[in-house]
Each structure stands twice: as C-alpha cells, then as structure tokens.
Amino acid sequence: MNLPDLNLLVPLEVLLAEGSVARAARRLRLSPSAMSRTLTRLREATGDPLLVRAGRRLVPTPRAIELAHRVGLLVQDAAAVLRPAGKLDLARLNRTFTLRTSEGFVETFGPALLERVSSAAPGVRLRFLPKPDRDGAPLREGAADLETGVVDATTAPEIRTRVLFRDRFVGVVRPGHALTQGTVTAERYAAAGHIGISRRGLDRGRIDEALDAAGIERRIHVVVGGFATAIALARATDLVASVPEKHTRALWAGLATFRLPVKVPPIVVSLLWHPRLDADPAHGWLRERVRATCDELVDRDAAGAPAGDSAGRP
C-alpha cells in the first residue's frame, strides 16, 4: 500500500490555522523558503492550491476549509497515540484479562487474586482458561494475556518470565490410607498404587527418575492429564497422587499429605507473558497483583506449616 507522506499533516494543520506562509514558518521553526516548498508539496499531494493570493494576503480554498477541521483532529489523535500512556485510573479501567493456568492454580490462588483485582478495579474481569499444553502461540497471538507454568527448553525465547514461587512434591492420600501410619519409606511409597500425571499421557516423570536413582520402581495404575483429576481419584481410592504442594493446596483439603521419601527437584512456577505487553500499564498492574497474591499465600502457608507433614511424621 502506497501511503502519502504523513509528515505533511502537521505543516498542513499549521498552514490552514495560520493562513500565512511566514507565520506557519515561525511556528514550525522553518525558513520561509522551506515553508513555501512544503506548501508546494501539499498542493501536489492534495491536488488543490489550498491557499491562494487575495490582495496582500492568502485565503483558503473550499477544499482547505473542508480539510481544516479534519486535519486538526488527525494531528491531535496522532499526538495522543505517540504520547506516553498517562497514569492508570483503576477505578475507570474496563478490561478483560485472559489467564491460561492449571485448575490447581485457580483453586488455590484464584479467590485471593479476584479479591485483590475487584477491590481496586471493579471494571476488570478475569477469564481463566485451561492450559492443556505449553504452546506459546496463545501469548504470541493475543489469545492469552498471562500464563503460569514451568519455564523450560520448550518456552519460546521471546517470552517474558517472572518467578512466582518454588514448590515441592508431596504425596496425597485419603484419610485412613496405609501410608498415613508409620514412616513412609521409599519402599513403602513405591509399593503403593500410584496415579501418574502427564498432559502428554506419559507414565514416567521426574519422580520416577528419582526412584530410579534409588533402584526402586513405583506402580502406576492410571495416568491422568492434571493435578485436579489425580487428587479427585486419590480422594476416592487407595491410590497415591504426587502433586506440587503449594500449587494444589486448595484441592487436597481434607486429605492426608506426606513428604516424598526421595529427593525430587523442586518445581519453579513462573508467570509468562509476551513482550508486546511489557509497557502496558494495566497489564503491568495485573502482573504485580498476581505476584503479590502468590507471595502472600505462599508466605502465609510457610508461616503456618508444621515442622512435619499432615500425618505427623518428621
């Protein structure tokens, strides 16, 4: 598409407002000859003389009179576009943000996040979407404003990230399960029936790698795609769900938990977004609200956590 020279809009607006080449030149800090050349270019671009001689002064043509108001508005709009964003007015902010995250994150952190957001910006709505994979396309294409998850080699290099919290795996079982009694050794843990968790349907993960190092293999009876489903099955069966503790705390209320008897690398949960939203004041405000919510709940849980696990073992 061949666009006209948009740099001519400001001189056109000034010329039509001043009705004088000399006065327009002074406003634009140009020489009279440079302003005359600009008027020639404007006449060529618009196909109209714009200003014509009437005695000792210039008068606008009908086309110039028609353009005067329109070009003034165009210049004002362009100036507003190129001006830095003003101070964010949360009370008047009316916007919907889409977050791709897991069910566990919504259950655990969602209520507090909603309270933080709605109390400061009642016109803001949050839309939580499931995160069935680690595809970065929703962030790139604008289908999602934020994501939570683990950053790894599959994360697109341009994606911005910020660590929210570090998490560890715990075992979750129904009350009265055999593992709620006595010390949970690696052998007892592995011998129990287990729920595998994998969005890709894999039956091995980082817990199995940790058990391999101890020369032990656990028995996986079923594989599910998410933590919420695994915990629901553990609640109704004798199977063990091994899930991130902080990420899923709201999901396993009423169940028994225990620390895993093998060393599994911690999970680092991060906030992810596309760099095109870096300078968006409203988006930056929401990012800060997510971070503050996670900090508050994680710190509160840490302060109130017992020295051992919920079964009373060290």
Q: What is the pLDDT of residues 59-75, one digit of tens each?
A: 899 998 888 888 888 88
> How does DSSP classify residue 184?
-
Q: What are the tokens at 193?
A: 């029936």
Main-chain dihedrals φ then ψ at residue 216, nearest 5 degrees: -125, 150
Measured CA to CA in angstroms, residue 75 lies from 12, 28, 66, 200, 312 at distances of 10, 14, 15, 53, 70
Residue of 155, 166, 193, 146 lying closest to 289 (CA atoms)? 146
CB 42 within 8 A of CB 12: yes
Taking the CB of residue 308, how many other CB atoms lie within 10 A of it?
11
Class of residue 211 by CB neighbours under 10 A (exposed 0-12, middle 13-18, buried 19+): buried
Mean pLDDT of 215-223: 93
Q: Which CATH number fits domain 6-82: 3.40.190.10, 3.30.450.20, 1.10.287.1060, 1.10.10.10?
A: 1.10.10.10
Least confident range of 133-137, 138-142, 157-161: 133-137
pLDDT at 204 over 90: no
- 98 pairs with which residues across the strands? 127
Output phi, psi for 124, to 5 deg.
-90, 135
Q: How far apart are CA 94 and CA 282, in angstroms?
A: 10
pLDDT digits (tens, 9 = 90+) for 244-303: 999 888 899 899 999 999 999 998 999 999 998 998 999 999 999 999 999 998 877 666
Q: What's phi and psi for 23, nearest 5 deg?
A: -70, -40
The CATH architecture to which 169-265 belongs is: 3-Layer(aba) Sandwich (3.40)
Residues pairing with 269 in the sheet: 150, 165
Please say whether the beta carbons of 203 and 196 come within 8 A: yes
Sign of CA dihedral 293, 298, 303, 305: positive
DSSP letter, residue 157: T
User: What CATH architecture does domain 90-167+268-303 belong to?
Assistant: 3-Layer(aba) Sandwich (3.40)
Decide if 90-167+268-303 and 169-265 have a common fold: yes
Q: Give the residue-averaged pLDDT of 75-94.
A: 80
* 235: pLDDT strictly greater than 70: yes
Q: What is the pLDDT of residues 105-131, one digit of tens each?
A: 898 999 999 999 999 999 999 999 988
pLDDT value of residue 255: 96
| Amino acid at residue number 55 | G
- In the chain, where are the structural domains located? 6-82, 90-167+268-303, 169-265
The amino acid present at 125, given as its one-letter code, is: R
Beta-strand ranges (E) seen in the chain are: 51-54, 57-60, 95-101, 124-130, 146-150, 160-167, 169-173, 193-197, 219-224, 240-244, 256-259, 267-273
Among 228, 219, 152, smallest CA distance to 197 is for 228
How do strand 219-224 and strand 193-197 relate by DSSP bridges? parallel
Structure tokens at 19: 């009705």
DSSP string, 211-265: HHHTT---EEEEEESSHHHHHHHHHHSS-EEEEETTTTTTTTTTSEEEE-SS--P
The DSSP letter of residue 201 is: -
